[in-house]
Structure 1
Amino acid sequence: MEKGLVKIYCGEGQGKSTSSLGRALVCASEGKEVFMIQFLKGRHTGTLDYLKRLEPEVKVFRFEKMNRYYEELSEEEQREESINILNGVNFAKKVLTIGECDVLILDEILGLVDLGILNVEDVIHLIQAKPEEMELILTGRNLPEELVNEADYISKIGIVKKADSEA
């Protein structure tokens, strides 16, 4: 059995989640079981409903309960949502510990570090819990320096040109 790599998709540009989803589709087409745990996406059901159509090959999980992005929530709502987010992190730990899938994507987990919900050491512990043969993909805008040596592959996605309408 081949060694599963640790991959990180990071940067200011859009497309990190899309890139990880593309990788998920490739792996699913190879007969691998893929889990994607999405953080900081809220419960925007349109996207989630569509992603659920990829099951059973790609299983997508969101633990957040609010219909808005984390940054848009009041302080009280953020405290409540942080509990839900940490439930998602605990689920990821369980998946890693028992090797429940071939590919695990932790979408926007680096954003949890940016927001102070997790620290870098928490992410390192997740990486170290990865079974040898499992592929682990992490995404987020900012890449803490401490994670560089933990990854086998890092892709930085940046903005080359931005339309005036998006400014």
Structure 2
Amino acid sequence: MEQGLIHIYTGAGKGKTTAAIGLGIRAYGQGLKVNMVQFLKGWDTGEMKVIAALEPHFQIFRYKENDKFVWEMSDEETGSLKREMRVCLNYAIEAIMSEEWDMVILDEIMAAVNYRFLPLAEVVEAVKNKPKKLELILTGRDAPVKLIELADYVSEITSLKHPMEKGIMARVGIEY
């Protein structure tokens, strides 16, 4: 594989994770090994079932099961979540540095940083020190400028219209 680059999918629109998974599927289809680390997503999602069928060359790692958004959590739950995010980041750094993977996806890493569950400086350091051949994908709203500066691709997904505005909540197979 040639030199790996850094991708960011950010913005308030729907589709950041979907874009990252699509890129992972494309890489997998060309024989590359993909590892996806999901931050702040603990509920059952459709992509988990598909990716499980692609193991061991496309794997997903996430923290314990959870069905709440951060703003719905108690202080005790957010403290526990912060510890879980540390486990995820440690795993992600190990995956990045292992040279076992051709692509690593850090899904919702921006949210984990923006909610202050993880230090931006540590994520920046991991991105800067990635092996030369590793393709690295980061997703989440409000990408910090320091990460944008390191990236080779930055795609901002905007929302012009969303069903939530009409009271239609997340649907199985579409949003999760």
* TM-score, normalised relative to structure 2: 0.87
Distance 1:53 1:151, change over 3 A: same
**In structure 2, C-alpha distance between the alignment counterparts of 1:160 and 1:67, rounded to whole Å:** 27
List 4+ stretches of structure 1 deviating above 6 A. Answer: none
Structural RMSD (CA): 1.7
Please give the residue correspondences for 1:147-158 in structure 2 after superposition, counting only pairs within 5 Å.
Answer: 147-158=147-158
State how far apart, in whole Å, the 1-side matches of 2:112 and 2:4 are: 24
Counterpart residue number, 2:166:
165
Match of 1:106 in 2: 106
Partner of 2:13: 13
* Separation (CA, whole Å) in 2 of partners of 1:8 and 1:27: 16
For 1:90, the equivalent position in structure 2 comes to 90
| Aligned residue in 1 for 2:44 | 45
- SS of residue matched to 1:45: coil
Q: Structure 2 CA distance, aligned partners of 1:24 and 1:63?
A: 20
Counterpart check, 1:129 vs 2:129 = yes
Structure 1 residue 73, shift from structure 2 partner: 1.9
Q: Does structure 1 conserve the Cα–Cα contact (< 8 Å) formed by 2:41 and 2:66?
A: no
Three-state SS of the structure 1 residue aligned to 2:60 is strand
Quote the Cα distance in structure 2 between the aligned partners of 1:111 and 1:46.
18
Aligned-partner Cα distance in 2 for 1:112–1:148: 16
**How far did 1:76 drift?**
0.3
What is the deviation of 1:109? 0.2
What SS is found at the alignment partner of 2:12?
coil
Gaps of 5+ in 2: 169-176
**What's the counterpart of residue 26 of structure 1?**
26
SS at match of 2:54: coil
Question: How far does residue 50 in structure 1 lie from its aligned partner after superposition?
Answer: 4.3
Identity %: 35
Q: What corresponds to 2:139 in structure 1?
A: 139
Q: Which residue of 2 aligns with 1:55?
A: 55
TM-score for the superposition, normalised by structure 1: 0.91
Give 2:81's aligned residue.
81
Provide the C-alpha distance between the structure 2 equivalents of 1:119 and 1:53, rounded to a whole number of angstroms.
33
Q: CA deviation at 1:54?
A: 3.0
Residue in 1 that maps onto 2:64: 64
Conserved? CA contact 1:52–1:59, under 8 Å? yes
3-state SS of paired residue (1:84): helix
Length, aligned pairs only: 166
Contact 2:85-2:118 at 8 Å conserved across structures = no
Q: Give SS of 1:22's match.
A: helix
**C-alpha distance in 1, partners of 2:53/2:75?**
34
CA distance in 2, matches of 1:126, 1:52: 26
Q: Deviations over 1:72-94 (max 9, x none)?
A: 22110111121111101001111
